């Protein structure tokens, strides 16, 4: 059957038009079943329900404020990431660290009897 349709361009065009019509009809039905925007009266009812819920459950306000603070802090950090991560001026120059008296000291961290102690190997 497919071989017959590929040989006849008119039949192939007819199948394409039929498929497009079925797809358009399905989209039309879906749009009617779930409209994109609320009407004025529905919008007012939804706003009233949300308002009543917030007034009945005020504990969601601090949670929402915490989320807002985290989101805004994330935006601020993302915007200033380069300035935060790069050292200022000559705060960590490689030459100063290599020539300083502290450059060849390694620190051993040992945990013993529930306490940590730091010592420099000599």
DSSP state letters, 27-69: HHHHHHHS-SS--HHHHHHHHHHHHHHHHH-TTHHHHHHHHHH
What tokens appear for 95 in the block?
Answer: 């030459």
Residue 83's pLDDT is 83
Residue 14's pLDDT is 86
Q: Output the tens digit of pLDDT for each of the chain's 122 residues.
A: 667 666 788 888 888 899 999 999 988 888 777 766 777 788 889 999 999 999 999 999 999 999 999 999 999 999 988 888 887 766 665 555 555 555 555 555 555 555 555 555 55
d(CA 80, CA 74): 10
What tokens appear for 52 in the block?
Answer: 């009543």
d(CA 97, CA 117): 25
Full-model pTM: 0.38
Residue 92's pLDDT is 64
d(CA 82, CA 85): 5
d(CA 32, CA 26): 10
């Amino acid at each position: 059957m497919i071989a017959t349709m590929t040989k006849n361009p008119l039949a192939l065009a007819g199948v394409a038009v039929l498929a497009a019509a079925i797809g358009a009809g399905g989209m039309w039905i879906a749009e009617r079943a779930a409209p994109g925007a609320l009407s004025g009266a529905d919008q007012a009812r939804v706003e009233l329900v949300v308002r009543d819920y917030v007034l009945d459950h005020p504990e969601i306000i601090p949670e929402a404020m915490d989320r807002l603070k985290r989101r805004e802090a994330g935006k601020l950090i993302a915007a200033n990431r380069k300035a935060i991560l790069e050292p200022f001026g000559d705060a960590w120059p490689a030459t100063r660290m290599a020539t300083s008296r502290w450059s060849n000291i390694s620190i051993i961290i040992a945990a013993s009897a529930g306490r940590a102690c730091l010592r420099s190997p000599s």
